[in-house]
Amino acid sequence: MDSVGLVVPAYRPDTERLSRYVRALVAELDPATVRIELDAPEPGVTESLAELPATVHAVPYRRGKGAAITAGFEALRTDVLAFADADGSTPAASVGDVLAPLVDGEADLAVGSRRHPEATVRGHQTRLRRRMGDGFAWLARRLLDAELYDFQCGAKGVTDEAWTAARDHLYEPGFAWDIELIAITAALGYRIAEVPITWEDAPDSTVSPLATPFNMAQGLLAARHRARTLQDSALHTALDRAADDRALVDREYGD
């Protein structure tokens, strides 16, 4: 079986919930390694996680979800690289479902989906967040070369080969990183599988209902631009690539 490395990005997490979740992931998936990428931890948090069957890498500031996952993926030495959000909204068994098409060689990128017709949603977001998410998914399907129901679910995995090809084209340090990974992987011609999951909304999510939609829209347009540039679009090639033209893997985040 292909080896699996799992990254859990965490910003000011509920440590008890995170600890239960990491132990459940290890018990269910038996990954080769689990790496918690911890941003801006409060005093004592890093120490409280030290007993977990995981490597804890903490930085004293907020890098953003995308930057944290990228740092984690770069540290892994496994055939499959995956992440699951620290709030545990995607149960360990469903993370296993997401990994299955990668381990079986059926896909290069696997995307967990809470909007898939076969998904099971146990807890619902507020009406505002549902509408924003539905609208974003509708727009993303029309702008990107990936016909998915859900682009933002916090459980995804990628083969080492696809990651190696995509890593130099990822720029988004925040929540829009998921979208960019999908856009770039699709533009490079890799196979994408959308996997229905069981999902429960986390009431203490760090997603801002005001700032995040604006940032996600910007990220979606940037992801489309970079994908089209990879596909040799004359228009997009002529445009500037990014305000910071260094990919995430080339930026210095320190310890």
In a domain, residue 245? The reply is: no
The residue with tokens 């890498």 is 57
Domain count, the chain: 1
Task: Note the pLDDT of residue 78.
Answer: 98
In a domain, residue 126? The reply is: yes
* Per-residue pLDDT tens listing for the chain (255 residues): 589 999 999 999 999 999 999 999 999 999 999 999 999 999 999 999 999 999 999 999 999 999 999 999 999 999 999 999 999 999 999 999 999 999 999 999 999 999 999 999 986 556 667 777 788 888 888 888 888 999 989 999 999 999 999 999 999 999 999 999 999 999 999 999 999 999 987 765 555 444 466 788 888 888 998 898 887 664 444 454 444 578 999 997 655
Q: Which domain holds residue 37?
A: 4-239
In a domain, residue 251? The reply is: no
Query: In what helix (H) or strand (E) does residue 155 lie, and over which residues does it extend?
Result: strand 155-159
Task: Note the pLDDT of residue 200.
Answer: 86
For residue 170, list its beta bridge partners: none
Token pair belonging to 200: 């429960």
In a domain, residue 93? The reply is: yes
The residue with tokens 């999902």 is 199
In a domain, residue 10? The reply is: yes
Task: Note the pLDDT of residue 238.
Answer: 43
Q: Would you tell me how many other CB atoms lie within 10 Å of the CB of residue 135?
A: 12
Instruction: Report pTM.
Output: 0.88
Identify the CA nearest to 188 among candidates 160, 162, 158, 157.
162
In a domain, residue 223? The reply is: yes
What CATH number is attached to the domain comprising 117? 3.90.550.10
In a domain, residue 88? The reply is: yes
